[in-house]
A and B are shown apart, each in its own frame.
Chain A
Amino acid sequence: MSMGSLAFDEFGRPFLILKDQDKKSRLHGIEAHKSHIMAAKTVASTLRTSLGPKGLDKMMVSSDGEVTISNDGATILSMMDVDHQIAKLMVQLSKSQDDEIGDGTTGVVVMAGALLEQAEQLLDRGIHPIRIADGYEMAAQVAIGHLDKICDQFPLDQSHRERLIETAMTTLGSKIVNRCHRQFAEIAVDAVLSVADLERKDVDFELIKMEGKVGGKLEDTMLVKGVVIDKDMSHPQMPKRIKDAKIAILTCPFEPPKPKTKHKLDVTSVDDYKKLRVYETEKFDEMVKQVKDTGANLVICQWGFDDEANHLLLQRQLPAVRWVGGPEIELIAIATGGRIVPRFQELTTDKLGKAGIVRELTFGTTKDRMLVIEECHNSRAVTIFIRAGNRMIIEEAKRSLHDALCVVRNLVKDHRIVYGGGAAEIAMSLAVSQEAEKISTLEQYAMRAFADALDSVPLALAENSGQAPIQTVAEIKSRQVTEKNPRLGIDCMNKGSNDMREQHVIETLSSKRAQIMLAVQLTKMILKIDDIRSSSENVSL
């Protein structure tokens, strides 16, 4: 590593051009490339073993001792707290795949790592980095063009639920929840289908909520067509079950209203004090009456009320839930078709939400209770309620389900699919290397390197499944060519067939496409950098 460049004056003394120049470091030229590639490769190799159904999980312990176990690339990387600039880019890469598609976050990093690894060899041979980048770009076009050719379509309607479930199962295959594989896949598909707008091909994830509770088994996880909130009735003696609930949704507290302006009330005599007391009770009575008059039999309140109010509510037989968060309030309002009311005076009958049943759930021996609002007026808001042995598994199950939800959503948006298990990668690799021969310029090498990099995904899959990687991939490659069948992939589960259509290993076209595009974008960006300047304390080498 060289120091920042120095200039010399007429006496041969160095003088400073940049601020704090002696503290800055600069990496330049091929060294810079090597250091970038090194960093990116390290990140990719961390994730490599998490790929595929037999991929292993990583355990991350944060600085305050919190443990996270995950198999999801984006989660692992965001927890790793990397410091190196290029490694940070890899983290962002998987994050943007997560934001856009939600699935394939591991694959995209492995792909980018492989591309850079191949680029390193080409750099050693003296090929200009931009030529490599150009070649990759050309290859990516070919690969994506080929994907469009080999993809399968299926029209989407309720009757094709089976296909959706199969796709969701592929995603869940690599996750911790694969014990109840089918069940989770069904939950994901049902959740998406119940909130999806098939006309507009739009799925609003705001309407799908995930709640977890420690205890029970993974098998107890269920889809509630309604809302689950982690709250209980404000008083233990309030009814635990309300049929045909009419819900008043309030965003004001159950207490006498206070002006926002700074105020002062002088209580000068005992009489005055008593009056004040009477006023408060009266006010409260009035509020309860206003609620009761509208016919409501349940109050959901964004704010709290004190224990005295709580007692009064119980006396007047008006069950209430307090301290319900803003997003939940909104979800309840959507699900029950009610209106959120900011003031008691505004409460009317038609602003009430309606639900078939509201009940409290209790779990095992713990005192934890949850409120379930079901059979709602509008069934578009759903909640996935996850049970598992410990918090870490619940968190991981949430992430896995999120991936599955994303995949199903993508299928609703764009119902083209490709086959997983490395089949698509191998097919693309073949197409790219074939195309490479037709190019007369230097880019030919870069394209071949791209084809080799594509092989890294099936290689990692085979390796993680305990098969001889090179042999397996070579065999499948030759079979794809001879049988002209782009559906052949790695048989990770040892089911005895390489045809991914038979194994029902399906991935969405949009996900594969985004993977390739994003990986190539990042590779190009890294290859274009030939100069890094940083304050030396920031360099982690």
Chain B
Amino acid sequence: MMQPQIILLKEGTDTSQGKGQIISNVNACQIIADAVRTTLGPRGMDKLIVDDRGKATISNDGATILKLLDVVHPAAKTLVDIAKSQDAEVGDGTTSVTLLAGEFLKQCKPFIEEGVHPNIIIRAFRKATNLAVSKIREISVKVQKDDPKQGRELLLKCASTALSSKLVAMQKDFFASMVVDAVMLLDELLPLNMIGVKKVQGGALEDSLLVAGVAFKKTFSYAGFEMQPKKYTKPRIALLNIELELKAEKENAEVRVDSVEEYQAVVDAEWNILYEKLEKIHKSGAKVVLSKLPIGDVATQYFADRDLFCAGRVPDEDLKRTLKACGGSIQTTVANLTDDVLGTCELFEEQQIGGERFNIFTGCPQAKTCTLILRGGAEQFIEETERSLHDAIMIVRRAIKNDAVVAGGGAIEMELSKYLRDHSRTIAGKEQLLIGAMAKALEVIPRQLCDNAGFDATNILNKLRQKHAQGGTWYGVDITAEDIADNLKACVWEPAIVKINALTAASEAACLILSVDETIKNPKAGEGGPAGRGRGRPM
């Protein structure tokens, strides 16, 4: 007698479960980790990714690469997510976090195959992570920030370590000081959106500049613009959200004109509405008029006649930053243009930068904002510079809030590895092996650094293990000399928070993937395979 088949899930649903599922998830994560493996460190390489529309991106940033890879595998997506969260949380170390998670999984694969229960592995990993984090906290070096000069030194070193793996590595001193200056200009909260980044093609990287204030590209202008003055000292600035153009005041109004005389009256009325607006703006004493909406040719010429400067269609974020820098408030009507809603700054100027003209506001009273103007050869080049600077800015922000640093170049990972290995020896039971595995996994960072630089990884790692066993806490890979060195002295510094976050995120991701033993995947609508192939049974 035939057993009636019970169909529990929709036809075509793909399910797989058990040990095999974990292994296959681990394999998928390995591939993701492999994709970013070579970007780690100062000798890391870049990736060129072309999307469906043919847009090319060249990047070294782990999060950017993974985002562009368009991963669909559910387990592999977890790794992409932790890279993103690392990017959002600390901004740097996205490659390391992916690598670490991949390596954790790789190290525990043999245990899974041998039948160790995933939950035991997870517990051991959690424990090891806690140990490692407290160790980082314990050994991290506090830098005295009371002395502004020393504090700046610290920030500079952190920024240049973050930049050393990027395309702009050769100019890292230049950009590090630029980034530090930019962040120093902000207020205590260090809001990231107050640092504007503008890109102008052409010129050398060193032509990039930092404007202590707001700068934005000249907007589209009407005839008459060239006759407006382009430089003011201490102007009053009106920020508007009004269309200054001849237009129908009400959208669906229709005027019924009875006689010819009235016709003229309607025309005059429309002009008067506009002139009244312009008059009010002029009377308010504002010298620079910025509006989110278009400023028409009549208004442009009106302002030109009265020596005012105007720019219409200013992008929203630029207007907001001007607002933050210069004070005042954005007005949607001209009825109430009093002194307190007008902003001001020391100097307003229109300047030529490369092929573009820029409106630059400097010396703002509430100067809690700044603008980086980046220059460079190709579009992709500038974009990658922007991403690199973003990483550096994030690091500097972190370092200001948190003054503990550790040495980079694999030094901290080696030290943690040694610490965990020593610790594992004191435990009885399976956890001993597992914590040992995690210790081994941590070595992936220095190993990858060596591999990327083309060094003999085994040789360097052996040297490092020996040094760390002798108590050389801060010994890491020395990229320039193909040797090991005390990276704390060599000024390869990273904020401790970056490492703590990377370690926790990586181990969490690994635990998450290990705890999944079944995937149920619904078929895509309209893509149901041929009937009878459900349940993922081999045909």
Contact = CB atoms under 8 A, between A and B. Distances in A.
B31 A529 contact: no
B51 A95 contact: no
B378 A9 contact: no
B16 A88 contact: no
A534 to B, nearest CB: 3
Interface string A6-32: 011111000111111000000000001
B255 A85 contact: no
A240 interface: no
B267 A259 contact: yes
A151 B52 CA distance: 48
A333 interface: yes
A89 B453 contact: no
Interface stretch (B66-74, B232-240, B415-423, B457-465): B66-74
Given A261-B248, A340-B227, 9 more contacts: A10-B24, A17-B73, A99-B202, A330-B227, A339-B227, A340-B223, A518-B204, A531-B48, A533-B49
29 contacts: A9-B21, A10-B20, A15-B28, A19-B70, A32-B48, A88-B56, A100-B354, A251-B224, A251-B297, A257-B264, A259-B263, A259-B266, A259-B269, A260-B270, A262-B255, A275-B259, A279-B263, A279-B264, A283-B264, A326-B223, A329-B223, A343-B298, A518-B377, A525-B58, A525-B380, A529-B58, A530-B45, A530-B47, A532-B49
Contact of B301 (A99, A134, A341, A514): A341
Contact of A535 (B31, B50, B305): B50
The number of chain A residues touching the other chain, given as a range, is: 35 or more
B258 interface: yes
Contact of B45 (A134, A522, A531, A533): A531
Interface string A304-337: 0000000000000000000000110110011000
Interface in B232-289: 246-250, 252-260, 263-264, 266-267, 269-271
B158 interface: no
Interface in B22-44: 23-24, 27-28, 30-32, 34-35, 38, 42-43
B205 interface: yes
B304 A340 contact: yes
A260 B247 contact: yes
Interface string B206-222: 00000000000000001
Contact of B256 (A85, A95, A263): A263
Interface stretch (A219-227, A264-272, A386-394): A264-272
Interface in B378-406: 378-381, 384
B255 A275 contact: no
B49 A534 contact: yes
Nearest to B480: A441
A317 B229 CA distance: 36
Contact of B254 (A263, A272, A279): A263
B50 A85 contact: yes
A93 interface: yes
Contact of B24 (A7, A19, A93, A326): A7
B380 to A, nearest CB: 7
Contact of A96 (B48, B270, B378): B378
B186 interface: no
A202 interface: yes
Interface of B: 16, 19-21, 23-24, 27-28, 30-32, 34-35, 38, 42-43, 45-52, 54, 56, 58, 60, 69-73, 76, 167, 170, 201-205, 222-227, 246-250, 252-260, 263-264, 266-267, 269-271, 297-298, 301-302, 304-305, 352, 354-355, 376-381, 384, 453-454, 538
A17 B297 contact: no
A159 B219 CA distance: 39
A89 B380 contact: yes
B355 A100 contact: yes
B162 to A, nearest CB: 17
Contact of B167 (A264, A276, A330, A525): A525
Interface in A284-299: none
Contacts of B304: 339-340
A99 B32 contact: no
Given A529-B47, A532-B50, A92 B222 contact: no
A296 B12 CA distance: 83
B47 A532 contact: yes
B460 to A, nearest CB: 15
Contact of A7 (B27, B72, B258): B27
A130 interface: yes
A230 B204 CA distance: 39
A292 to B, nearest CB: 21
A81 interface: no
Contact of B204 (A7, A85, A258, A521): A521
Nearest to A83: B54
Given A326-B223, A330-B223, A343-B298, A535 B52 contact: yes
A264 B255 contact: yes
| A-B pairs, 4 with minimum CB distance | A10-B20, A534-B50, A100-B202, A530-B45
B34 A263 contact: no
Contacts of A134: 170
A259 B202 CA distance: 46
B482 to A, nearest CB: 9
Contacts of B24: 7-10, 15
A532 B35 CA distance: 11
B31 A7 contact: yes
Of B248, B250, B254, B377, chain A has the most CB atoms within 10 Å of the CB of B377
Contacts of A343: 271, 298
Contact of B73 (A15, A131, A341, A534): A15
B377 A522 contact: yes
B380 A9 contact: no
A511 interface: no
A93 B267 contact: no
A343 B254 CA distance: 24
A17 B20 CA distance: 17
A129 B44 CA distance: 10
B493 to A, nearest CB: 22
Given A129-B45, A530-B46, A265 B263 contact: yes
B202 A531 contact: no
A93 B377 contact: yes
Contacts of A528: 45-46, 60, 167
Nearest to B246: A260
Nearest to A342: B298
A234 interface: no
A327 B222 CA distance: 9
A137 interface: yes
Given A18-B70, A259-B267, A533-B69, A266 B226 contact: no
Given A100-B355, A343-B271, A528-B60, A17 B378 contact: no
Contacts of B54: 538
A283 B30 CA distance: 81
Contacts of B250: 261
Nearest to A341: B301
